[in-house]
Amino acid sequence: MNYYPDPILKLINSLSTLPGIGKKTAERLALHILHAPDTQAATLAADIIELKTSVKLCRVCFALSDKNICKICSDPSRDQSLVCVVENPTDMAAIEKSNAFTGTYHILGGTLSPIDGICPNDIRIDELFKRTDQGKIKEVILATRTNVEGEATASYILEKLKHKKIKITRIASGIPMGGDLQYIDQLTMQKAMEKRYGF
Amino acid sequence: MNYYPDPILKLINSLSTLPGIGKKTAERLALHILHAPDTQAATLAADIIELKTSVKLCRVCFALSDKNICKICSDPSRDQSLVCVVENPTDMAAIEKSNAFTGTYHILGGTLSPIDGICPNDIRIDELFKRTDQGKIKEVILATRTNVEGEATASYILEKLKHKKIKITRIASGIPMGGDLQYIDQLTMQKAMEKRYGF
């Protein structure tokens, strides 16, 4: 691609580091940006910088947020006594897309995995227990994935919480075992929410 | 997608304005950028800005360049007496990729199209004539596209240059290499028959 001047080559290289963007797509995007209005390119660049500087984690549920408390935790129309425990923000997004849940979340930031050396202290399990200790939470829905680590994490949390006066439920099966929450269709997700069962 | 904080939504929107990037791909890219190292995101943003500020047109051939004279025009190993006339930088890139050409280019920046109100003054035809008037160019290859506008532009340039002592050629039309005859359109087939050559 040496027939392009260096600034184009540099942008092509930067764009190719993104997932699913090969050299050819990167070339097309770079040429599009080159011919796009200056403001569009400036906005794109500014948005990338803003994303990296202003997105933090909600202090309550650890979801991605640009404020100290995220939209969902500060929304009075959401049921604050109902907490859905998920592994990461992508899984939370998948549940939100289904419109099947009106409570709040707790994002663990991973799953227990002794084989990878990930212990309860490495993910936000203690923070969940602190939330349940405050006495406002009536139900905890365990929506970790249905693979080994997700099930183990759900079992661990159940074990620690079952002596408390909190209803603990697991997102219903219907989700294929080993399946990734972000690729589940909405109907399955709604069904899984609706059919959650007690231990 | 309201479950994402505003900076993520803004970047998703900006990314979706790019060609071939839908909302879902934009979401995946934005989350990738969010979790990528700060330097990678900063480089991407800086490269977008640099592209818009430092890419200009070569003063000789009007190719994209970060200098006043582009790489090809300033390369002594390229045949400066051979000029290939193309519509835009993408077409030039396609020819460069083939490694089939060792001369220089002239980028018109469009084609004649009276129906769209594009006259010879709107594209860089006069600049081509100025180059040929300098007497260093021995051959002009017309490599505009083979559609109505491209053919009309080629004819116009031929008409204006044919009285000069310059060899004028048109890039060949015919069956693409490896092409299946049954899928070739009639016009291409007629052209391929008409322009058949002896061995």
Tell me the pLDDT tens digit for each residue of A149-160: 888 999 999 999
Residue type at position A190: Q
In residues, how long is chain B? Answer: 199
CA B125 to chain centre: 16
Which residues 33-62 of A have a C-beta within 8 angstroms of B?
Answer: 33-34, 36, 38, 40-52, 54-55
pLDDT 10s digits, A122-164? 999 999 999 999 888 999 999 998 788 888 999 999 999 888 8
Nearest CA-CA distance, residue B146 and chain A, Å = 22
B143 DSSP assignment: -
**Residues B154, B170 contacting (CB under 8 angstroms):** yes
Q: Are A96 and A78 in contact (CB under 8 A)?
A: no
Cβ atoms of residues B110 and B125 within 8 Å: no
Q: Closest Cα to residue B60, out of B107, B10, B115?
A: B107
* Distance (Å) from the alpha carbon of B87 to chain A's nearest alpha carbon: 15
**How close does chain B come to A181, measured CA to CA in Å?**
14
Residue found under tokens 């818009």: B52
Other C-beta atoms within 10 Å of B178: how many? 5
| Non-local CB neighbours of A180 within 8 Å, separated by 6+ positions | A145
Answer for the pair B138, B167: CB distance below 8 angstroms, yes or no.
yes
Report the C-alpha gap between B175 and A96 in whole angstroms. Answer: 53
- Give residue-wise pLDDT tens across range B119-177: 888 999 999 999 999 989 999 999 988 888 898 999 999 999 988 889 999 888 888 88
Q: A-contacting residues of B 95-114, CB under 8 Å? A: 96
SS3 A31: helix
Please state the ipTM of this predicted complex.
0.75
Distance CA B124, CA A151 (A): 67
A108 pLDDT higher than 90: yes
User: What's the one-letter identity of residue B135?
Assistant: G
Q: Which residue has the tokens 């979706």?
A: B16
Domains of chain B plus CATH, in order, are 6-54 (1.10.8.420), 70-194 (3.40.1360.10)
In three-state secondary structure terms, A197 is strand
pLDDT number for residue A197: 66
